[in-house]
Amino acid sequence: MSAAAAEKANLSEAGSRNGAGGEEPQLPSVRTRFMARLRRHRVPLLLLALLAAVALASAWGRTDEDSSALSPANPAPNGAMAAAEILADRGVDVQHHELQAEARAALEDNPGATLLFLDPAGYLTGEQRRDLADAAGRVVLVEPSLDQLADFAPQILSAGLLPPAAEGQQREAECSNADAEAAGSIEAGGKTYRGPVTCFPAPGSTGTDAAGSYAATEDGSAVVLGGAGLLANETLAREGNAALAFRTLGADDTLVWYQADPFDVPPSQVPVDPFSLLPPWVNPLLFWLGLVAALAAFWRGRRLGPLVEEPLPVVVHAAETAEGRARLYQDSRAVGHAAATLRAAAMTRLAAHLRLGPEAGAEDVTRAAADASGRSYPATDDLLNQRLPGTGTELVHWARDLKDLEEEATSS
User: Interface with other proteins by CB under 8 A: which residues?
Assistant: 1-2, 4-5, 8-9, 12, 280-281, 283-285, 287-289, 291-292, 295-296, 298-299, 302, 304-306, 308-311, 313-323, 325-327, 329-330, 337-339, 341-342, 344-345, 348, 392-393, 395-396, 399-400, 403
> Least distance in Å: CB of 22 to other proteins?
16
Choose between 138 and 343: whose C-beta lies nearer to other proteins: 343
Name the residue nearer to other proteins (CB basis): 147 or 401: 401
The CA R_g of the chain, rounded to the nearest whole Å, is: 48
- Nearby residues of 142 by Cβ (< 8 Å), 6 or more positions away: 70, 116, 117, 118, 224, 225, 227, 228, 230, 231
Q: How far apart (Å, rounded) are the C-alpha atoms in residues 106 and 92? A: 14
Q: State the amino acid at position 248 in one-letter form.
A: T
Q: How far is the CB of 151 from other proteins (least distance, A)?
A: 51
Min CB(144)–other proteins separation in Å: 56
Torsional sign, CA 195, 200, 206, 207: positive
Please say which residue, 8 or 238, places its beta carbon nearer to other proteins.
Answer: 8
β-sheet bridge partners, residue 268 = none
Nearer to other proteins, 49 or 322 (CB): 322
What's the gap between Cα 131 and its chain centre? 42
Distance of CA 300 to the CA centre of its chain: 49
| 3 state DSSP class of 123 | coil
Please, what is the angle between helix 362-373 and helix 392-411, to 10°?
70
CB 223 within 8 A of CB 181: no
101 versus 322: smaller Cβ distance to other proteins = 322
The whole-angstrom separation of Cα 229 and Cα 241 is: 8
In whole angstroms, the minimum distance from the beta carbon of 404 to other proteins comes to 10
Least distance CB 374 / other proteins (angstroms): 22
Q: Which is nearer to other proteins, 186 or 347 (CB)?
A: 347
**How near is the Cβ of 353 to other proteins at its closest, in Å?**
14
The two beta strands, 254-259 and 114-118, are: parallel
Question: Closest distance between other proteins and the C-beta of residue 52, in Å?
Answer: 37
Nearer to other proteins, 197 or 338 (CB): 338
